[in-house]
Amino acid sequence: MQRIDFLKYLLVLGLVAGFSSCDKNFEEINTNPNASTNPNVDYLFSQSQLRGNYVYDRNYFYTAYLNAGMFIQHFTTFKDVAGSGVGDKYGANDFYQGFYFRYIYTNVINTLGEAIRAAQKPNQVNKLAAARIWRVLLMQRITDAYGDVPYKDAVKGYTEGNFSPAYDPQSEIYADLLKELDEAIRSFDASKPTFGNADLLYKGNIDQWKKFGYSLMLRVAMRLTKRDEAKAREWAQKAITGGVILLPADNAVVKYSNGPQVYNNNPVAYELVGQDYIPGANGINNTEGGKFSKTFIDYLKNHNDPRLNVVAVTWNGSTPDTSTVKQKGFPSGTGTRPADYNTYSEPNPATILQYAAPLLVLTNAETNFLLSEAALRGWTGGSAAQYYKTAIENNMQNWALFGPGGVIASNRISDYTSANALNTAGSFDAQMNQVHSEFWIALLLDEQEAYANWRRTGYPQLTPVNYPGNSTGGAIPRRFPYSQPEQGMNKINYNAAIARQGADLLTTRVWWDKQ
């Protein structure tokens, strides 16, 4: 399908907008018309937000859906894709698993680096702060997927001609992510200009950017609980004191519409519809054989969860059916298409698959789940049970952003939270299981974050599959392998990374995933 690459247009427009006028023919002759030393930072930042949210290039479909989402049993497929056993079959495949590594730097990080360089001016401190915070979100996604990755040298090809960047240890990356957040948040200045409408999250609202920054700091801090509990506690408390996202109005949400061009469409819906759940398939001829996993659907049904009727459908001919009794999850690790394939649950076209659906980047549901864990650990005041309850309520209420099909009645929400209250008499591990099983449900569609949080906590306790020819010995993968071209183009630094981190395998754990 041909698509108008609006993002390339934005980049070009940003560069053109920065051209300075020239006097005399001599200057015109000696000025490169395709280069600028003063690019438009607003256009560059907008582009980085759009591309950072998975739009284009199959990044969501390959990375989040086919791999992360199938590793943790939100989704599954009967296909053994290209004989590789990717997704729920735990096979190594460079094209799918290395795709994010190949394109996130060239399509997003370079552009954002250019925006950060362009914002190095006293009157652009707020733009610089927002760009630094956004870069933390993106770099955390990259390092969580692969482990040690190019970080300090990641954008020096353009400025210094360094096309063989060193890989930084993940421990050092995480330390710098926290430092970046702390410095960026403290640098905001209400007297200076902001991105305004060029900011797709908050329209330049400084208070909301601070809450987003502190919420991201809480996420980064909690990722360290296995490795450095003292540091995790220190930074989690700093984030909580600073003030995280608690109100719906402060949720980090990118809004989309249904056309007229692809950049107007929600990237999750666009990729899932375009690559798997094509209109008219009616649950029969899904391109990649995708369905919701039995593990996921069974959890929702066994807990009488009202979100089931929001996210899932089965098909009655050409009519989608959201009734609870009809929902049935597809077993992970299935290698052939069953005769009753069309009777299994898949994403609801009235909510998840809407091109006009919003993209939830980081919300009050996530922060309250993490606050619940922090309270369980004794790192913050308040009730772990109340934070947990509020997190579930927030997540259920946030589905209303997807339109009428996402609205869950208040009595159904209260019935659910009453029936599934946190068992405060249980052990720490039992309560962690409850909190993070619910967090796993709430993170549906944000598959990379769900995969990272599952690796950190081990909850919910998933039963792995052992599909013939898999690459992990029947264990759920712990990371993505690097892009294969790195072995040739950046061999020295690639070899140094695997010597430090471990073999470039699905089973090698990243730094924060080790005790």
Question: What is the C-alpha separation between 446 and 439, in angstroms, rounded?
Answer: 11
Question: What is the C-alpha separation between 181 and 216, in angstroms, rounded?
Answer: 8
Q: Say yes or no: 64 and 101 in one domain.
A: yes
Question: What is the C-alpha separation between 346 and 323, in angstroms, rounded?
Answer: 13
Q: Say yes or no: 192 and 286 in one domain.
A: no
295 and 259 Cβ atoms separated by less than 8 Å: no
pLDDT of 16 strictly over 60: no
Q: Say yes or no: 340 and 282 in one domain.
A: yes
**Residue 86 phi, psi dihedral angles, 5° rounding:** -75, 175
Q: Say yes or no: 33 and 95 in one domain.
A: yes
Residue 88 lies inside a defined structural domain of this protein: yes
Q: Say yes or no: 222 and 302 in one domain.
A: no
Residue 177 lies inside a defined structural domain of this protein: yes
- pLDDT, position 50: 81
229 contact partners, CB below 8 Å, separation of at least 6? none
* C-alpha separations of 472 from 31, 88, 464 in Å: 55, 11, 10
Report the residue count for the chain. Answer: 515
Domain end position, chosen among 347, 374, 404: 347
Under the banding of pLDDT at 50, 70 and 90, the label for residue 14 is very low
303 and 334 Cβ atoms separated by less than 8 Å: no
Q: Say yes or no: 84 and 196 in one domain.
A: yes
Question: What is the C-alpha separation between 432 and 429, in angstroms, rounded?
Answer: 5
Per-residue model confidence as pLDDT tens digits over 88-115: 999 998 888 998 998 889 889 999 999 9
Per-residue model confidence as pLDDT tens digits over 157-214: 878 888 899 999 999 999 999 999 999 999 999 999 999 999 999 999 999 999 999 9
Q: Say yes or no: 376 and 440 in one domain.
A: yes
- Number of structural domains in the chain: 3
Q: Say yes or no: 286 and 385 in one domain.
A: no
Under the banding of pLDDT at 50, 70 and 90, the label for residue 25 is very low
Residue 254 lies inside a defined structural domain of this protein: no
pLDDT of 21 strictly over 80: no
Residue 355 lies inside a defined structural domain of this protein: no
3-state SS assignment for residue 484 = coil
Give me the DSSP letters along 135-167: HHHHHHHHHHHHSSEE-TTTTHHHHH---SPPE
- pLDDT, position 37: 59
Residue 70 lies inside a defined structural domain of this protein: yes
Tokens of 225: 């609980």
- Is residue 347 within a helix (H) or strand (E), and if so which, with residue range? strand 346-347
β-pairing verdict for 167-168 and 149-150: antiparallel
- pLDDT, position 12: 38
Least confident of 114-118, 232-236, 298-302, 416-420: 114-118
Amino acid at 391: A
Residue 118 lies inside a defined structural domain of this protein: yes
Q: Say yes or no: 417 and 479 in one domain.
A: no
298 and 73 Cβ atoms separated by less than 8 Å: no
CATH for 437: 1.20.120.840
Domain end position, chosen among 445, 478, 503: 445
SS3 content of the chain, % helix, strand, coil (to 5): 55, 5, 40
Domain end position, chosen among 297, 322, 347: 347
Closest by Cα among 470, 479, 480, 462 to 293: 462
pTM for this model (two decimals): 0.92
Residue 356, judged by CB atoms within 10 A of its CB (0-12, 13-18, 19+), counts as middle
Per-residue model confidence as pLDDT tens digits over 217-227: 999 999 999 99
Indicate the average pLDDT of the chain. 91
- Is residue 288 within a helix (H) or strand (E), and if so which, with residue range? none
Residue 490 lies inside a defined structural domain of this protein: yes
Buried b (16+ CB within 10 A) or exposed e, 190-206: eebebbeebbbbbebbb
Furthest-apart CA pair in the chain: how many Å?
81
307 contact partners, CB below 8 Å, separation of at least 6? 300, 395, 396, 399, 408, 441
Q: Say yes or no: 105 and 208 in one domain.
A: yes
Per-residue model confidence as pLDDT tens digits over 48-86: 888 776 544 578 899 999 999 999 999 999 998 656 667
38 and 121 Cβ atoms separated by less than 8 Å: no
Q: Say yes or no: 271 and 305 in one domain.
A: yes
Residue 354 lies inside a defined structural domain of this protein: no
Average of pLDDT values for 337-363? Answer: 96
Question: What is the C-alpha separation between 265 and 268, in angstroms, rounded?
Answer: 9
Domain limits for position 300: 262-347
Under the banding of pLDDT at 50, 70 and 90, the label for residue 23 is very low
Amino acid at 489: M
Task: Supply angle C-alpha 427, 510, 242, rounded to 5.
Answer: 65
Q: What is the dihedral of CA 75, 78, 81, 86, to 10 degrees?
A: 40
Q: Say yes or no: 210 and 70 in one domain.
A: yes
